[in-house]
Chain A
Amino acid sequence: MIELENVAYSYGGGELLTDMTLSVPPGSFHFLTGPSGSGKTTFLKLCYGALQATSGHVRLFDRDVRGLSRDDVALMRRKIGVVHQDCQFLDHLPVTENVALPLAVSGQDVADNEADLKELMAWVGLTARADAVPPELSGGERQRAALARAVIMSPDVILADEPTGNIDWDMSQRLLMLLVELNRMGKTVLVATHDLGLIRAAKAQVQTRVLRISNRRLQVAGADL
């Protein structure tokens, strides 16, 4: 589903990531950890085509990202739900419209998906906040709205970048449960985090594989996690 083969990424003359090889099979749950600035966000961006590897090959759904046009990358992203640490919303639109944005940009009629949208808003516990605009939401509400937006197209893969970075423990557990639930529904989940408590909590719920970026390289983390 996501494959990296000897991938390296350089920026500004320095190599940020090197010799990365990884295969993420369908239905798996991966954590990616490492210290701040180790390149977790860059790694995730390589995984959804927002960045191009300097060398090596990134294959998404068996297609090499390097050969894809911008439109092809856009189509690919509709199969990958992304949750950013800073969420990235259109601040002038209500939460419901932000959550429904992937439907709108893919040409689907939001009205036809009204029931699914309501169900999704209830699933992430935001029914009462549906008409609020993103700046009015708390950190946890923003993360849950971002997760709802990431899954509304029923993507095969969920990529989350520090989804619990700005929220309290209870809220991060609630978000984790949503990710675990998605994984149990057969979705592939890859979460970048430096929150080891979150990883331990997940391991108690679902089979996970933990990767670590250390010294610009990708390693499988040990049993200490």
Chain B
Amino acid sequence: MTLNPRAMAKMLQFDEKADRVVPPTGFTARLTVFSAFAMAFLAVFALALSSAAGRVADRWGDELAQSSTLRISAPAGEAATQTEAALRVLRTTPGIEEARALSLDQQRALLSPWFGATLPVEDLPLPQLIDITESDEGYDAAGLRLRLSAEAPAAVLDDHARWRRPLIDAAARLRLLGWASTLLIALATAAMVTLAANAALAANAQVIAVLRLVGAKDTYIASAFVRRFALRALTGAAFGTFFGIASLFLIPAQDDATGFLTDLRLQGWGWVWVMLIPPLSGLVAFIATQYAARRVLGELA
């Protein structure tokens, strides 16, 4: 089946007479409108989820890619010396913008979510942490490890790659899942519209016989059904999209604790994709009904 833009435009032209030749069918009309409504509503959420997952992946990627941590687990007497040595190495390593040894207060703040704010970190054998900020070009991790093993053997470099990659992969897969869900929703819409159109065409075999008797071409007969179903899908999807967007606004505002779960607000291209749901639903219904009409009209010939 090919999509001829001129034929599509002709079919979508409002022709009250052509519309009237098909009797109003309340049940299939309501079924199509409701299906399109429900599918558009779900598509809004799938796209919002995909968009949010994309943002999370980007944020995690950006934040983690720019930082590393050096851990120095040395006996108490050597810790300060090795920290100084490690800082010297870091400050002379190309690609490192800043290297900063964390104070006891900063280490306490890091541990406070688990142990509380009153943890006596000064009495604990904690390793000294050095926060490394990379420049845009980044540094050679393998070369740095070699230099550190010579200058500060107790230093262990963690460039976050080991746990950053799975997180970013998970977010990317979540984004892909959102798009796959949207595609499945479009296919399900097409299937439901095809079923409804098939039912309507079969129920109107007598109408088709009369139209053929008086010289109607298949294009004319098909257009009466195609236009009707495309407009129903467009209407249902418009309402579904509207209510889907409204529901996104009902989700509680983002905070640090629930950010990932609640940050489903649409941004940038997300709005564009969501606004395309109603016309795309109409297009899907147009193609599905045209396919069903051609098939049924061929069978009834």
Contacts and interface: CB of A to CB of B under 8 A. Distances in A.
B216 A105 contact: yes
A97 B20 contact: yes
Interface residues of A, number: 25
A70 B218 contact: yes
B215 A70 contact: no
A167 interface: no
Contacts, number: 61
A212 to B, nearest CB: 26
Contact of B17 (A70, A75, A91, A110): A110
A91 B22 CA distance: 10
B226 to A, nearest CB: 16
B23 A92 contact: yes
B296 interface: no
Contact of B214 (A76, A93, A105): A105
Given A88-B206, A105-B211, A71 B20 contact: no
B215 A104 contact: no
A39 interface: no
Interface stretch (A13-21, A77-85, A123-131, A186-194): A77-85
B209 interface: yes
B200 to A, nearest CB: 14
Nearest to B21: A90
B214 A149 contact: yes
What does DSSP make chain B's interface, helix, strand, loop or mixed?
A: helix
Contact of B215 (A77, A84, A89): A77
B217 interface: yes
Given A74-B216, A77-B214, A77-B215, A104 B209 contact: no
A74 B217 contact: yes
B21 A88 contact: no
Contacts of B213: 50, 77, 82, 84, 88
Given A74-B212, A90-B207, A104 B217 contact: no
Contacts of A139: none
B212 A93 contact: no
B210 interface: yes
Contacts of A70: 217-218, 297, 301
A102 interface: yes
B64 interface: no
Contacts of B215: 74-78, 102, 105-106, 153
B211 to A, nearest CB: 6
Interface of B: 17-18, 20-21, 23-24, 206-207, 209-220, 297, 301
Interface of A: 50, 70-71, 74-78, 82, 84, 88-93, 97, 101-102, 104-106, 110, 149, 153
- A-B interface, 7 closest residue pairs, ranked by CB to CB distance from nearest: A105-B216, A78-B215, A77-B215, A102-B214, A92-B23, A74-B217, A104-B17
